[in-house]
Amino acid sequence: MIKTLTAHGNSAALIIDKPILELLDITMSTPLKIVTDGRNLIISPVRDARRDELFRSALAKVNEEHESTLRKLAE
Domain of 69, in residue numbers: 18-74
Each residue of 56-68: pLDDT tens digit? 899 999 999 999 9
Helices 49-65 & 67-74, crossing angle to 10 degrees?
Answer: 80
Task: Report yes or no on 2 lying in a domain.
Answer: no
Flag whether 39 is in a domain.
yes
User: Which pLDDT score is estimated for 40?
Assistant: 96
Residue 7 domain-assigned (yes or no): no
The number of folded domains in the chain is 1
Q: Distance between CA 34 and CA 11 in Å, rounded? A: 15
pLDDT 10s digits, 6-50: 999 999 999 999 999 999 989 998 999 999 999 999 999 988 778
Q: Has residue 57 been placed in a domain?
A: yes
